[in-house]
């Protein structure tokens, strides 16, 4: 396969490559000399970014994974890559799991959501650099320990207890690990975890509805759906699809996905992490189950996903002041450019002002760092946003044998075809075939077959299917 030539990336209405470039810039601007990320950004004067317990494993795993996704697309290195890896790999202990340290903001424990984000990152790096022996060893040790800690009952499995966020989010990366390293028992583990959620808990109701953190629910549904596709399990597939359709029912068509389902107060915001999972499920459904879901992907990607990336950081206030250990103030409004909104509204990057509750920190000394400040961003969404953009980008044009499919009318240059979209300013998409192939273009649902006009260079043949 030829590499995509960065010089032929079209620059028109919406460039996913530009979003990934901005994301890479953010990684290099925010990750500090130790390889630390900064979960919290506050609307203080001056604004502050403060490192938190999520920055031991969860966030650096997402940022490190984003590097593997972004670097080949933008064809330039992300400098913080080795620092992130070094920071993360120091968390591994002899049992193969990654532990937060005992500290004023964390307890020494191998928390399951942390393992899920790190396993996802390890999977991605194993695909990006197949010869990285250490990464493959880390996956093996982590998976073996997770299986050892799991409880098998009948046709299902769980670790400690059945959960969406704690446990359910492991399904997708565990399945991927099994596929990458050819370990059928890990694939079986993923299916058994999915069956636990669907058939042995009431976390996802038969009508697809669920309550609480939508990021956790959609992530677990993505894993369950991916397993169902791999294993040909019609029951799990239908239940996962029903769960996704419930998520659609509480979202907007342009991709505003609520952070919480059935929240009792009236605060509603969209966490970019949730939009990432939403696009992950929609892409799986579009590629393997029902092409109608491509429309769900395209609307969300070209609307709320694009709008959720920060391109001008002035809204958090004028940066100033000196940095301290674990606190960044300098150039902060510039450093957040390329990150993604933590709690967006349909019309702005921050839906409401909210602060941490008094239980967030356990020592009096740490309170001034975290309490009494309005939160502007949660940077879990930075890595998640880049993963979401990459997933859309990598699926916008696909090739199977000689058949090349333009699934999304978004700009993309591949060795087979260069797609330039003039939407929404003009109802026009230009596809330049770069080498001989059968080319298919997916007609968006809003465009009827009678509205399509095809203009080709002389001698080409076009047929409607
Ligand atoms: Zn997030």
The pLDDT value given to residue 336: 98
The strand pairing partners of 343, in sequence order, are: 350
The pLDDT value given to residue 257: 96
Q: 288 C-alpha to center of ligand 1: Å? A: 27
Residue 188 token pair: 């079986």
Please list all protein residues whose beta carbon sits less than 5 angstroms from ligand 1, which is an ion.
271, 273, 380-381
What does the pLDDT look like over 325-382, one tens digit per residue? 999 999 999 999 999 999 999 999 999 999 999 888 888 899 999 999 999 999 999 9
Q: Which residues contact 378 (CB under 8 A, 6 or more apart)?
A: 39, 40, 41, 271, 342, 343
Q: 415 C-alpha to center of ligand 1: Å? A: 34
Residue 241 pLDDT greater than 50, yes or no: yes
Q: 341 C-alpha to center of ligand 1: Å? A: 8
pLDDT band at 454 (very low <50, low <70, confident <90, very high): confident
The pLDDT value given to residue 263: 85
Cβ proximity of 238 and 207 under 8 Å: no
| Residue, of 2 and 161, whose pLDDT is higher | 161
Q: 308 C-alpha to center of ligand 1: Å? A: 12
Q: 385 C-alpha to center of ligand 1: Å? A: 8
The pLDDT value given to residue 464: 56
Q: Give helix then strand counts, H and E, for the chain.
A: 15, 14
What does the alpha-carbon distance between residue 175 and residue 38 come to, in Å, rounded to a whole number? 29
User: 193 by DSSP, 3-state: which?
Assistant: helix
What does the alpha-carbon distance between residue 461 and residue 92 come to, in Å, rounded to a whole number? 58
What's the chain's average pLDDT?
94
Q: 185 C-alpha to center of ligand 1: Å? A: 31
Which segments of 60-200 are extended strands (E)?
151-153, 156-158
What does the alpha-carbon distance between residue 212 and residue 201 come to, in Å, rounded to a whole number? 15
Q: 59 C-alpha to center of ligand 1: Å? A: 9
Burial class (CB in 10 A: 0-12, 13-18, 19+), 165: middle
Q: 280 C-alpha to center of ligand 1: Å? A: 15
Average pLDDT over residues 282-296: 98
Q: 228 C-alpha to center of ligand 1: Å? A: 26
What does the alpha-carbon distance between residue 38 and residue 151 come to, in Å, rounded to a whole number? 35
Q: 345 C-alpha to center of ligand 1: Å? A: 14
Residue 144 pLDDT greater than 60, yes or no: yes
Alpha helices, DSSP H only, in 150-271? 171-180, 184-199, 214-231, 234-249
Q: 118 C-alpha to center of ligand 1: Å? A: 15
The length of the chain is: 465
The pLDDT value given to residue 348: 96
Burial class (CB in 10 A: 0-12, 13-18, 19+), 17: buried
Q: 381 C-alpha to center of ligand 1: Å? A: 4
Q: 342 C-alpha to center of ligand 1: Å? A: 6
The pLDDT value given to residue 233: 98
| Residue, of 450 and 232, whose pLDDT is higher | 232
Residue with tokens 């390890």: 122
DSSP state letters, 323-392: -BTTEE-TTHHHHTTT-B-SBBBTTBSB-------GGG-SSGGGHHHHSS--EEEETHHHHHHHHHHHHH
Of 208, 230, 243, the closest CA to residue 287 belongs to 230
Residue 291 token pair: 């092409």
Q: 322 C-alpha to center of ligand 1: Å? A: 27
What does the alpha-carbon distance between residue 400 and residue 89 come to, in Å, rounded to a whole number? 37
Q: 215 C-alpha to center of ligand 1: Å? A: 8
Q: 379 C-alpha to center of ligand 1: Å? A: 6
Cβ proximity of 308 and 272 under 8 Å: yes
What does the alpha-carbon distance between residue 66 and residue 31 come to, in Å, rounded to a whole number? 13
Residue 1 pLDDT greater than 50, yes or no: no
Residue 9 pLDDT greater than 50, yes or no: no
Q: 193 C-alpha to center of ligand 1: Å? A: 24
Residue 396 pLDDT greater than 90, yes or no: yes
Q: 378 C-alpha to center of ligand 1: Å? A: 6
Q: 2 C-alpha to center of ligand 1: Å? A: 35
What does the alpha-carbon distance between residue 445 and residue 465 come to, in Å, rounded to a whole number? 15
Q: 380 C-alpha to center of ligand 1: Å? A: 4
Q: Long-range pairs for 121-125 at CB < 8 Å and ≥24 separation?
A: 121/61, 121/62, 121/64, 121/65, 121/68, 121/88, 122/173, 122/177, 123/173, 123/176, 123/177, 123/180, 124/65, 124/68, 124/69, 125/64, 125/65, 125/68
pLDDT band at 5 (very low <50, low <70, confident <90, very high): low
Give percent of the chain above pLDDT 90.
Answer: 87
Residue with tokens 């997916």: 442
Q: 93 C-alpha to center of ligand 1: Å? A: 26
Q: Which CATH class is domain 16-399?
A: mainly alpha
Q: 135 C-alpha to center of ligand 1: Å? A: 25
Q: 271 C-alpha to center of ligand 1: Å? A: 5
Q: 272 C-alpha to center of ligand 1: Å? A: 6
The pLDDT value given to residue 13: 72
The pLDDT value given to residue 118: 98
Residue with tokens 């390889």: 35
Q: 384 C-alpha to center of ligand 1: Å? A: 7
DSSP state letters, 268-322: --B-HHHHHHHHHHHHHHHHHT-TTHHHHHHHHIIIIIHHHB-S-GGGG----S-
């Amino acid at each position: 396969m030829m590499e995509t030539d960065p010089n032929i990336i079209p620059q028109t209405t919406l460039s996913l490559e530009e979003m990934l470039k901005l994301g890479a810039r953010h990684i290099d601007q925010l990750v500090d000399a130790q390889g630390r990320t900064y979960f919290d950004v506050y609307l203080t004067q001056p604004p502050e970014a403060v490192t938190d317990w999520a920055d031991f494993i969860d966030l650096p795993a997402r940022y490190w994974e984003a590097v593997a996704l972004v670097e080949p697309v933008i064809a330039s290195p992300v400098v913080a890559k080795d620092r992130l890896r070094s920071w993360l790999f120091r968390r591994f202990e002899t049992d193969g799991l990654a532990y937060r340290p005992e500290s004023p903001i964390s307890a020494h424990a191998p928390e399951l959501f942390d393992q899920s984000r790190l396993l996802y990152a390890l999977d991605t790096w194993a695909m990006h650099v197949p010869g990285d022996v250490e990464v493959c060893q880390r996956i093996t040790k982590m998976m073996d320990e997770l299986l050892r800690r799991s409880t098998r009952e009948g046709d299902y499995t769980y670790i400690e207890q059945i959960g969406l966020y704690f446990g359910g989010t492991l399904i997708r990366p565990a399945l991927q690990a099994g596929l990458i390293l050819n370990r059928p028992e890990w694939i079986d583990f993923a299916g058994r975890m999915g069956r636990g959620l669907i058939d042995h808990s009431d976390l996802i109701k038969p009508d697809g509805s669920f309550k609480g953190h939508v990021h956790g629910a959609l992530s677990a549904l993505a894993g369950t759906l991916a397993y169902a596709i791999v294993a040909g399990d019609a029951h799990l597939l239908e239940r996962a699809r029903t769960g996704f359709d419930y998520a659609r029912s509480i979202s907007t068509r342009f991709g505003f996905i609520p952070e919480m389902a059935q929240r009792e107060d009236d605060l509603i915001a969209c966490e970019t992490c949730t939009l990432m999972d939403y696009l992950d499920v929609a892409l799986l459904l579009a590629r393997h189950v029902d092409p109608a879901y491509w429309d769900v992907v395209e609307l969300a990607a070209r609307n709320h996903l694009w709008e959720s990336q920060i391109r001008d950081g002035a809204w958090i206030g004028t940066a100033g002041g000196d940095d301290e250990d674990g606190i960044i103030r300098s150039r902060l409004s510039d450093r957040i450019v390329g990150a993604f909104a933590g709690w967006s509204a349909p019309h702005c990057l921050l839906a409401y002002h909210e602060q941490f509750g008094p239980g967030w920190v356990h020592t009096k000394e740490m309170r001034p760092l975290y309490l009494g400040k309005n939160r502007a961003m949660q940077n879990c969404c930075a890595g998640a946003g880049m993963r979401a953009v990459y997933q859309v980008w990598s699926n916008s044009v696909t090739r199977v044998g000689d058949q090349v499919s333009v699934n999304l009318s978004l700009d993309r240059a591949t060795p087979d075809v260069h797609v330039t979209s003039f939407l929404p300013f003009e109802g026009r998409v230009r596809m330049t075939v770069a080498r001989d192939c059968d080319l298919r273009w997916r007609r968006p649902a809003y465009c009827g077959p009678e509205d399509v006009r095809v203009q080709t260079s002389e001698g080409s043949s076009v047929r409607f299917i």
